[in-house]
Amino acid sequence: MKGWDDVISSNDFRNGVTLELDGSVYQVIEFQHVKPGKGSPFVRTKLKNILNGGVVDRTFNAGERIPIARVDKREMQYLYMMDEDYTFMDSETFEQISLKAADIGDGVKFLKENMTCYVVMYRGASIGVELPNSVTLEIVETDPGFKGDTATGGTKPAKLETGATVKVPLFVETGEKIVVDTRTGLYLGRA
């Protein structure tokens, strides 16, 4: 049986909390406390399965106790990709580990050599990677801009040095460095 330190009340949910449910590990990405006019209050959540990336909606009774999944985050540096393995090095021990693209998720589009990120570990196994919220990347290919394009507010696709494609304003050109939000893939501005 789990001790009180190993469980969390559904009333205490917040974004980022990791839970053990149905033999898997989930992270709370959205939650809403609901107090209906009739009936008991409950907590509506959106949970992301850390092991396979799937998202599920789940409702908990208010005050329901759920086991916490203890995950560790180790600061690591992304070194290189060979074949289909992405190699990371622990910043303290210099130990190297390899992950597949599926383990990294959508963040793989924004990985740049020598980037510092966090590898998420659960029971000694690496289960994912947390990138910085934003990264600075160079545009390697985009259509040329034209004088006066700044007033229209339009966008165009731009291919980045990592291979990712993002929408950028019409005035941004090949060779420029831009800041991209790694969570949404949106252009944030010039670097």
Q: Render pLDDT for 104-123 as a digit per residue (tens, 0 to 9).
A: 777 888 999 999 998 888 88
Beta carbons of 161 and 176 less than 8 angstroms apart: no
Q: Do domains 71-130 and 134-190 have the same CATH topology?
A: yes
What fold does the segment set 71-130 form as a domain? Answer: OB fold (Dihydrolipoamide Acetyltransferase, E2P) (2.40.50)
Determine the pLDDT at residue 191: 84
- The pLDDT, as a whole number, for residue 150 is 57
Tokens standing for residue 156: 């165009």
Name the pLDDT band for 124 (thresholds 50, 70, 90). Answer: confident
What share of the chain has pLDDT > 70, as a percent? 93
Q: Taking Cα atoms as reference points, which of 33, 69, 73 lies closest to residue 49?
A: 69
| Closest C-alpha among 67, 85, 88 to residue 77 | 88
- Three-state DSSP at 106 gives helix
CB 127 within 8 A of CB 51: yes
Per domain, the residue ranges of the chain are 4-67, 71-130, 134-190
Identify the CATH assignment for 134-190 out of 1.10.10.60, 2.40.10.10, 2.40.50.140, 3.30.70.580. Answer: 2.40.50.140
Q: Is the dihedral of CA 149, 152, 156, 160 positive or negative?
A: positive
CATH number of this structure's domain 4-67 = 2.30.30.30
Q: Give the closest residue to 159 by CA, choosing from 136, 182, 143.
A: 143
So what's the pLDDT on residue 149?
Answer: 53
For the chain, the average pLDDT equals 86
pTM check: above 0.75: no
* pLDDT at residue 25, as a whole number: 87
Tell me the residue length of the chain.
191
